Amino acid sequence: MVERKALGKGLGALIPDIEDDLEGKEGALYCTLDEIQVNPYQPRTVFDQEKIEELTRSIKEKGVIQPLLVRKVGGGYQLVAGERRLRAAKKAGLEKIPVVVKEISKVELLEYSLIENLQRENLNPIEEAEAYKRLMKDFDYTQQKVSQVLGKNRATVANQLRLLKLPGVVKKSLAKGEISMGHARGLLSLSELQKVKEAFRIVVGKGLSVRETEKLVKRLSQEKKKKEPEKRLIHLEYVRNDLRQWLGTQVKIVKSGKKGKIIIEFYSSEELERIIERIKGR
């Protein structure tokens, strides 16, 4: 099997600029908007309506300067890249739109959609991570393959995928731009889901910076370490009281690391015999 090359710099060549018409351009033509199906692998889920309106006004004035990239499916076409232009063209009331038709596989369909948005910096961090995940799930890509195809560092891909471990409320906030990648990476340092949510509420409520978030995460992590010995001490106190009531005398539990000793007090020979009989179960 031939190894596919990274596509990160090749998309521009697939979508040429046009001014008046598409005559003489390979695979280029005009088609009606009804002939174009949406892209099922579109990684972008949030569209800025204000920018769509701006593009709509531009299209009404100058038309569609850059054609859409589509592939042939059945009796029509399927969008590969240019969803914002397609949406704006519909709002502008156009009947036909310029397209460039290319033979593209399902794998390339997701790749090109992802790359187009990455090149234009249109994807938010969660959309980007979801796109990586889909490449891995739907097309059996490894993290290494994703990094090769998209021309990215493998560590970058791995860190992006880690964002999907965040609670839903945190992912939504990151997608909206309410918190940054720096905040998200800091929150990921906490192993407990409840701690992540607690820290997130403080970060958003107080408007903490990334550095302040890191300090908060460190403090919460240290609190956890302190609470673990406290829980063990509470358990030992419960056991000590249980033994004291059962034996009818004072009991001490002395612990040092993983070792320790249980001290049972007695105040007469008769009491010692009673305690021994009690321990023997008589």
DSSP 12: G
- What is the distance between the alpha carbons of residues 6 and 146, in angstroms, rounded to a whole number? 9
Element (H, E) at 245: helix 210-247
- What is the distance between the alpha carbons of residues 198 and 206, in angstroms, rounded to a whole number? 12
Element (H, E) at 31: strand 28-32
Catalytic pick among 3, 19, 23, 83: 83
- CA nearest neighbour of 119 among 87, 143, 151: 151
Concerning whether 83 is annotated as a catalytic residue, the answer is: yes
Do the beta carbons of residue 85 and residue 5 sit within 8 Å?
no
For 92-243, list the strands marked E by DSSP. Answer: 96-101
Burial class of residue 145, CB neighbours in 10 A (0-12, 13-18, 19+): middle
- What is the distance between the alpha carbons of residues 150 and 109, in angstroms, rounded to a whole number? 13
DSSP 19: S
Q: Active-site positions?
A: 83
